[in-house]
Amino acid sequence: MSELVSLTRDGEVGIITVNNPPVNALSPGVPEGIASAIETIQKDDQLKAGILIGGGRTFIAGADIREFGKMTSGLRRGGSLLPFLLTIEDSTKPMIAAIHGTAFGGGLEFAMAFHYRVASPSAQVGQPEVKLGIIPGAAGTQRLPRLGGVAKAVEMCAIGDPISASEALKHGIVDRIIEGDLLSGAVAFAREVLASGAQPPKSRERDEKLAGDHSASFAAAREQAQKRMRGQSAPRAAIDAVEAATTMSFEDGCKKEAELFQQCLFDNQSKALIHVFFGEREVGKIPGIGKDTATIEIRKAAVIGAGTMGGGIAMNYANAGIPVIIREVSQEALDRGVATIAKNYANSVKKGRFSQEVMDRRMALITPQTTYQGFEDADIVVEAVFEGMDLKKQVFGELDKICKPGAVMASNTSTLNIDEIASATSRPQMVIGHHFFSPANVMRLLEIVRGKATSNEVIATSMALAKRLKKVGVLVGNCRGFVGNRMFHQYMREAQYLVEEGAGIPNVDAALYEFGMAMGPLATGDLAGLDVGWRIRKEYKDDQNETRGLKVADRLCESGRYGQKTGAGYYRYDENRRAIPDPDVEKLAEQVAVENGISRRTIGPDEIVERTIYALINEGAKILEEGFALRAVDIDIIYINGYGFPAWRGGPMWYGDTVGLKKVYDRVCEFHEQMGELWTPAPLLKQLAEHEKTFADFDKEKRAAAAG
């Protein structure tokens, strides 16, 4: 056997172990090794059955995703896995897959070619390929409906969420759950099968679950995919492939699957989603802060402020099982905050996301109070008070007197200078920004803002904590608005200028929604509250470089139109919070255009997208060059997880690469000529465009330089 796959014996049972850490992916050599072990078992008279098990923490977690890039760039020819699977299935001796950890993608496809599957209670199985923009490519769409039924298979292949071992058992995808030691249980299972003398069943020959009319399941899957994965082509392809299982022979179904798999693999969407998969893991890697950096153990937290953000942040801690104090100045505000938390949890219980018992446990972890009692032994305090420097400094000054020396002191500020906040304490090395995104209990992004004095220990603790809170933590530098909001400011400004110039509010939103953004920018402004930006503009009024100003937004706020919370902003809102276009706001935009000497014109969706998205890219390039983001991919991950940027476009920087930086740069130069200083091209963008390079090249060079 190879190093990747070993074959050992337990009496008459051959045990095939995959040893390809960390997740036993099907890298070159693994499928070959398994097939060769099966052949050895088949030929060996002493061996009567075989078991496949994963060494280490998991069964096979899927194909080796890094190989896809090599295949699409022509560096490697992608051979089919199907012949290996047929070798397994055609074995005359019973073959059993013993699953722990995750049997995902190709891992589940391998398991389904085995005659039986047994699993640990904590195991999960799934076909998550659509999350990478592809579909199962080793007969998963053909075997899963035969084993688990069409409805379950189409849901698993189209949406990509895994299911638990017990659910897999219920649907016939696994045959037995093994409590205790998996391997001993699997060997005992093999002996039972041998004693029964049963013929090894082949999943490809089973068609009893394919009979009947499944049109309702396919229609439901198409609707769900359209809702949850808008704009993506892989879910549709996955549904078509499962549908083929119900209308074609196994062999023809596999051919259809292979055709659709290839189409998806060579599409830009899968390249973008694979970039995102590795990006989400890369953001955790910070030059100079290795695995050996000490971290502070977080056993107790305290949050200051029970408003929307404070409440959401406290929920994150409670969800992770960390006791948390939530402090407000007035009892009334505290009660309101706690009631909102309870309402949010109750909604989740109503929707079946977790039980009442889980909700009660989480609520019990939250201690609401109006004092600082108990703050002295909190391992972390998170300030989430109103966004104003004086107030933040006052709070940090108070915390400095109360908190124990080793406590992390985090501010949830979205724009303010962390160093200035830290200056209110005697320990700036313990101060860091933890910028959560609203709603904080839902959004995955946590921008972690490093001040000039923040210690590596506090950074490493924050990154580890983000994982524990089930967030994607991205480390950024301390510039105004940090990375996300600094770029967002440019994006929102352009959206508002387009409105002044005559694009029409619903048209601006529609163009960006069609592009794939979760919401249009103006509707987003209304949701977040237009008053937030208005207050920040007032705070920084002395150093605004925007001569045109944001007059439409300012005037909306001056007239009390803050967005959804006041029933009106760019739109009016009915009692169901449905947005209704408002001719008064268009009139306001017309008036502002006159004041600014702008002649209005018709503006199409392409220009709307270029003006807003290229503004993001240009600012992102400046941020990269100034070192406030570690890599271009960090910006992408911020935008996808915090700002509703479509993952299947890979984030703004990756999108710029796919458009071509030369094209982006030329257009930025045109905007610069037409609109002046605000569109000054980023020198890095110019440099990459002139050398026909990409942001991905920039990251690659940076990685190489860091590796020495």
Q: Binding residues for ligand 3H9, per CB under 6 A?
A: 22-23, 25, 61-66, 81, 102, 104-106, 109, 128-129, 132, 136-138, 140, 278, 281
Kindly state the smallest distance separating residue 161's Cβ from ligand 3H9, in Å.
Answer: 11
Kindly state the smallest distance separating residue 144's Cβ from ligand 3H9, in Å.
Answer: 11
Q: Is residue 673 annotated as part of the catalytic site, yes or no? A: no
Nearer to ligand 3H9 among residue 139 and residue 315 (C-beta): 139
Kindly state the smallest distance separating residue 699's Cβ from ligand 3H9, in Å.
Answer: 15
Nearer to ligand 3H9 among residue 64 and residue 379 (C-beta): 64
Kindly state the smallest distance separating residue 115's Cβ from ligand 3H9, in Å.
Answer: 20
Q: Extract the tokens encoding 516.
A: 């794939």
Nearer to ligand 3H9 among residue 109 and residue 175 (C-beta): 109
Confirm if 527 and 439 have CB atoms less than 8 A apart: no
Q: Extract the tokens encoding 93.
A: 């001796």
Confirm if 28 and 51 have CB atoms less than 8 A apart: no
Kindly state the smallest distance separating residue 20's Cβ from ligand 3H9, in Å.
Answer: 9
For residues 287 and 399, what is the distance between their CA atoms, to the nearest angstrom? 31
Pairing of strands 324-327, 301-304: parallel
Cis, peptide link before residue 368, omega less than 30° from 0: no
Confirm if 5 and 52 have CB atoms less than 8 A apart: no
Burial of 277: CB neighbours in 10 Å, binned 0-12, 13-18, 19+: middle
Nearer to ligand 3H9 among residue 128 and residue 428 (C-beta): 128
Q: Residue 168 is which amino acid? A: A
**Considering only CA atoms, which of 120, 102, 98, 106 is closest in space to residue 53?**
98
For residues 272 and 269, what is the distance between their CA atoms, to the nearest angstrom? 5
For residues 456 and 518, what is the distance between their CA atoms, to the nearest angstrom? 35
Nearer to ligand 3H9 among residue 81 and residue 88 (C-beta): 81
Nearer to ligand 3H9 among residue 234 and residue 326 (C-beta): 234
Q: Extract the tokens encoding 431.
A: 């101060």
CA angle 84/86/91 to nearest 5° reads 105
Question: How far lies 663's CA from each of 99, 261, 270, 668, in Å?
Answer: 49, 31, 22, 9
First and final CA of the chain: distance in angstroms? 36
Nearer to ligand 3H9 among residue 282 and residue 514 (C-beta): 282
Residue 242 CB partners (closer than 8 Å, separation 6+): 141, 144, 145, 150, 153, 154, 157, 158, 218
Question: How far lies 148's CA from each of 112, 172, 302, 371, in Å?
Answer: 10, 5, 46, 55
Helix extents (H) in 377-504: 389-402, 418-422, 456-468, 484-500
Kindly state the smallest distance separating residue 310's Cβ from ligand 3H9, in Å.
Answer: 29
Q: Residue 604 is which amino acid? A: G
Kindly state the smallest distance separating residue 640's Cβ from ligand 3H9, in Å.
Answer: 16
Residue 517 CB partners (closer than 8 Å, separation 6+): 644, 645, 646
Nearer to ligand 3H9 among residue 54 and residue 642 (C-beta): 54
* Catalytic-role residue among 129, 155, 501, 619: 129
Nearer to ligand 3H9 among residue 61 and residue 492 (C-beta): 61
DSSP-assigned beta bridge partners for residue 581: 571
Handedness of CA 86, 89, 92, 93 (dihedral sign): positive
Confirm if 297 and 379 have CB atoms less than 8 A apart: yes
Radius of gyration of the chain (CA): 28
Pairing of strands 366-369, 124-126: unpaired
Confirm if 375 and 401 have CB atoms less than 8 A apart: no
For 9, other C-beta atoms within 10 Å of its C-beta total 12
Confirm if 446 and 432 have CB atoms less than 8 A apart: no
What are the backbone dihedrals phi and psi of residue 447, each rounded to the nearest 5 degrees, phi first? -80, 120
For residues 639 and 445, what is the distance between their CA atoms, to the nearest angstrom? 9
Kindly state the smallest distance separating residue 702's Cβ from ligand 3H9, in Å.
Answer: 17
Q: Is residue 39 annotated as part of the catalytic site, yes or no? A: no
SS3 state of residue 316: helix
Nearer to ligand 3H9 among residue 276 and residue 385 (C-beta): 276
Nearer to ligand 3H9 among residue 404 and residue 470 (C-beta): 470
Q: Residue written as tokens 């068609």?
A: 207
Nearer to ligand 3H9 among residue 128 and residue 533 (C-beta): 128
* Catalytic-role residue among 89, 109, 243, 610: 109
Kindly state the smallest distance separating residue 101's Cβ from ligand 3H9, in Å.
Answer: 7
For residues 520 and 514, what is the distance between their CA atoms, to the nearest angstrom? 9
Kindly state the smallest distance separating residue 684's Cβ from ligand 3H9, in Å.
Answer: 26
**Considering only CA atoms, which of 161, 108, 132, 80 is closest in space to residue 264?**
132
Kindly state the smallest distance separating residue 648's Cβ from ligand 3H9, in Å.
Answer: 15
Helix (H) or strand (E) run with residue 118 in it: strand 116-119
Kindly state the smallest distance separating residue 62's Cβ from ligand 3H9, in Å.
Answer: 2
* Active site positions, annotated: 109, 129
